[in-house]
Amino acid sequence: MKIPETDEKYQGKINETDLGRGYVAGGADGMPFLSSENTGKRRVMIAGEVVDDLSDYPELAAAMFDGRQRDPVEWARMWMSLGMDMICLRLKGTDPDKGKRTPKEAADLVKNVIDAVPLPVIVFGCGTPDTDREVMREISAAVKDTRLILAKADEDDYKTISSAAIAGGHNVIAFSNLDVNLAKQMNIILTDFGVDRNNVLMDPLMAPLGMGLDYSYSVNERIRLAALSGDKMLQIPMICDATGAWDVGDAVSDDDGLGSAVSRVTWWETITAMAAMTSGADIIIMRGPAAADMVLGYAEELRCG
């Protein structure tokens, strides 16, 4: 017998944002992975995480990179050889408490990574606002001919990073904290400040599996549904960071009854990423190489068209 027609006809479409270096994110005009209503043919993109200071980096993860994690440039090359689409560089070493990398050195490192791999690069600071402002200014001034993705602008601290992005022609990530209204507000704040809408990506905070994933899943879905229904200020590609999975006790604990921690955390991060992309993520940041490989495979299989 005939079954009902259930495809949704949405009016909205997610912005197609140029990530630089020939890569574009976004373009969906239907809910994720439903080929009959979503004509956006782009696959969810995967960014491999590279950190320039390993003092807070989990040993369990470090062991998966066979020594290459000690050199950020080598590490980025390895991600590329695994087929990842982007590099996510965290400049933890600029933290004044660790005290090693100056803003100038940080900018040099970014340049070295860009020279080594032809992929779009997301750059995070160390999380200390004063330092991050200085580092972002320096990087933006030093890297002129390659578009970067600078992270991240939040409600209390967005002006410097936005100015740096505008000055250098870079993209900027608008961060919000599990809140649909704030996510929208951030996009408005940035565009009001002068950042072109085509240069914004949004990070609504991906809470990992077992630590609030339920909130993120629903916030993401609501953002995507509102965007497709026509809310222009939410029609911005979504980036989700799945590496929070490594902070979950049950994922990494030594407990024979729970099975191998390596396999467990790999699933923990993979499931976090699968929930992110099923609820609307366009780009996912991954830490574990096995998890990244699985998620890349699933993303390829799920792409529309």
Partner 1 sequence: MMPTAIEFFKLLPKTNCKDCGQPTCLAFAMLLANQKAKMDDCPHVSRESKDAMESTTAPPVRTVAVGNVNMGGETVLHRHERRFINPTAYAVTISDRCDIPERIDAVKKLSFERVGTVFDVDMVSVRCDSGDAGVFIKAVNAVMGSWDRPFILECGAGILKEVIKEAAHRRPLLYCAVHENAGEMIAIAKDNSCPLVLRDTDMERLADLAAAAAAAGVNDIVLDTGSANLKECIERHTVVRRSAIRKRFKQFGYPLMNRVGSGEYAVAMAVMSTMKYGSLVIFDDLKNYEALPLFTLRQNIYTDPQVPIQVKQGLYPIGEPDGHSPIFFTTNFSLTYFTVRADIEKSKIPVWLQIVDTEGLSVLTAYSAGKFSAEHVAESLNASGVLTRSDGIVVIPGLVARMSAKLHELLGRDVIIGTTESRDIPKFLRELK
Number of residues interacting with partner 1: please give it, by CB under 8 A: 49
Is residue 78 at the binding interface for partner 1, with CB under 8 A as the rule?
no
Report DSSP state, residue 28: -
Identity of the residue, 211 or 234, whose beta carbon is nearer to partner 1 in the bound complex? 211
**Which one of the spans 102-110, 114-122, 133-141, 266-274 is the region binding partner 1 (CB under 8 A)?**
266-274
**Which one of the spans 133-141, 150-158, 183-191, 207-215 is the region binding partner 1 (CB under 8 A)?**
207-215
Please select the residue that binds partner 1; options are 3, 99, 145, 305, rule is CB under 8 A. Answer: 3
Is residue 254 at the binding interface for partner 1, with CB under 8 A as the rule?
no
Task: Find all residues with CB under 8 Å of 79, minimum gap 6, and list them.
Answer: 48, 50, 87, 117, 289, 292
Identity of the residue, 138 or 241, whose beta carbon is nearer to partner 1 in the bound complex? 241
Check if the beta carbon of residue 58 is closer than 8 Å to that of residue 98: no
Please select the residue that binds partner 1; options are 79, 124, 158, 267, rule is CB under 8 A. Answer: 267
The footprint of partner 1 on residues 142-201 (CB under 8 A) is none
Is residue 39 at the binding interface for partner 1, with CB under 8 A as the rule?
no
CA end-to-end span of the chain, whole Å?
Answer: 26
* The two structure tokens encoding residue 139: 């990087």
Is residue 59 at the binding interface for partner 1, with CB under 8 A as the rule?
no
Which runs of consecutive H residues, i.e. helices, occur in 121-260? Answer: 129-142, 159-168, 180-193, 213-228, 249-252
| Least Å from the CB of residue 126 to partner 1 | 12
The footprint of partner 1 on residues 90-109 (CB under 8 A) is 97
Please select the residue that binds partner 1; options are 10, 264, 281, 282, rule is CB under 8 A. Answer: 264
Strand, helix or coil for residue 44: coil
Q: How far apart (Å, rounded) are the C-alpha atoms in residues 33 and 53?
A: 37
Check if the beta carbon of residue 98 is closer than 8 Å to that of residue 62: no
Identity of the residue, 35 or 198, whose beta carbon is nearer to partner 1 in the bound complex? 35
Please select the residue that binds partner 1; options are 210, 226, 231, 233, rule is CB under 8 A. Answer: 210
Report DSSP state, residue 80: H
Is residue 115 at the binding interface for partner 1, with CB under 8 A as the rule?
no
Of 127, 131, 135, the C-alpha closest to 154 is 127
| Least Å from the CB of residue 146 to partner 1 | 30
Check if the beta carbon of residue 95 is closer than 8 Å to that of residue 129: no
**Which one of the spans 15-23, 157-165, 189-197, 213-221 is the region binding partner 1 (CB under 8 A)?**
213-221
Strand, helix or coil for residue 206: coil
Identity of the residue, 167 or 258, whose beta carbon is nearer to partner 1 in the bound complex? 258
Q: How far apart (Å, rounded) are the C-alpha atoms in residues 92 and 41?
A: 35
* The two structure tokens encoding residue 181: 């209204």
Q: How far apart (Å, rounded) are the C-alpha atoms in residues 296 and 304?
A: 14
Q: Which residues bind partner 1 (CB under 8 A)?
A: 1-4, 6, 31-36, 56, 97, 127, 207, 209-215, 217-218, 221-222, 225, 247-251, 257-260, 263-264, 267-268, 270-271, 274-275, 278, 294, 298, 301-302
